[in-house]
Amino acid sequence: MPNIVIVGAQWGDEGKGKIVDLLTRYAHMVVRFQGGNNAGHTVYLKDQKFVFHLMPSGILYADKICVIGSGVVIDPAVLIEEITEIKKRGYLRDDSQLMISDEAHLILPYHRRIDVARDRIFKIGTTGRGIGPAYEDKVARCGIRMTDLLDERTFRKKIAANLPQKNLYLVEVLKEKSFGFSEILEEFSGYRKQLERYVKDAAFFVYEASRKKKKILFEGAQGALLDVDHGTYP
């Protein structure tokens, strides 16, 4: 099996999860390369149902390396919940099976609040989970990444730079409540302790696997017709 990329050709819900599960057994590495927790892949194994929003579906196979790549935007609370749940059910016994790209961007609380408030105005039908606003910050080069989360000083500095403009937009434009600096720092310091063991230079490991001719399965989320250029805009 050569490297394979699984993507949806419609608006999502095409059954990608089932195809990924079918092909995972032949792969060495499974890479979730884009999207956020607005997607959900449902997998059945040994009569058990699993729904993954961020975790690569290959995590159910102990011999697979699973990567959350730099193109994914991560809500740490959701990811930790998924990790906790699968560990409780007897999977991911070896933490080295999962790696999170140090370049993956974070979804912050203000991203979610902005997302929900905007959807009340524009009625696009977003999931309200902060995916779009997080990608906006990534493109604007003011996003906060996993590597920033691991360094408390850097994280504080970036939150201090971003929060005033986000609060101004929330209060003055969207008529929503603002966020306190301390509440975000306190919440995310807990996430740091739980996720730091998984954060690595994932791109290097994917490159090395490819160089060694290992079989890699790239797991897409959502669908092509949601694309802002090739899909149904907005």
The whole-angstrom separation of Cα 4 and Cα 118 is 36
13 and 114 share one domain: no
pLDDT at 222 over 80: no
- pLDDT of res. 80: 98
CATH number at residue 177: 1.10.300.10
Measured over the CA atoms of residue 70, residue 75, residue 76 and residue 80, the dihedral's sign is: negative
Name the band, by pLDDT with cuts 50, 70 and 90, for residue 1.
low
What's the domain count of the chain?
Answer: 2
Q: What is the pTM of this model?
A: 0.91
Residues 172 and 201 reside in one and the same domain: no
Give 160-181 pLDDT, tens digit per residue: 999 999 999 999 999 999 999 9
Residue 151 within a domain: yes
Residues marked active site are found at 13, 41
Domain of 174, in residue numbers:
105-193
What's the pLDDT at 129?
A: 94
- The one-character DSSP state at 104 is P
Please report whether residue 233 resides in a domain: no
Question: CB within 8 A of 135, min separation 6: which ones?
Answer: 73, 105
Computed over every residue of the chain, the mean pLDDT equals 92
Q: Is residue 36 part of a domain?
A: yes
Whole-number Å distance between alpha carbons of 180 and 178: 7
Read off the pLDDT of each residue in 98-113 and give the average, rounded to a whole number. 98
pLDDT at residue 125 in the model: 80
Pair (98, 201) in one structural domain: yes
Q: How far is the C-alpha of 101 from the C-alpha of 37, rounded, in Å?
A: 16
Cis peptide before 164 (omega within 30 of 0): no
Angle between helices 152-168 and 109-122 (to 10 degrees): 20
Report whether 149 contacts 195 (CB < 8 A). Answer: yes
Question: pLDDT grade, residue 101 (50/70/90)?
Answer: very high
Q: What is the DSSP string of 105-156?
A: EEPPHHHHHHHHHHHHHH-----SSSHHHHHHHHHTT---BHHHHHSHHHHH
Condensed to tens digits (0 to 9), the pLDDT of residues 167-220 reads: 999 999 999 999 999 999 999 999 999 999 999 999 999 999 999 999 999 998
pLDDT above 80 for 12:
no
Candidate from 117-126, 138-147, 222-231 with smallest mean pLDDT: 222-231
Q: Return d(Cα 26, Cα 47) in angstroms, integer.
A: 21
138, 119: one domain? yes
Q: What is the pLDDT of residue 10?
A: 84
As a whole number, mean pLDDT of residues 47-61 equals: 90
Q: Are 111 and 182 members of one domain?
A: yes
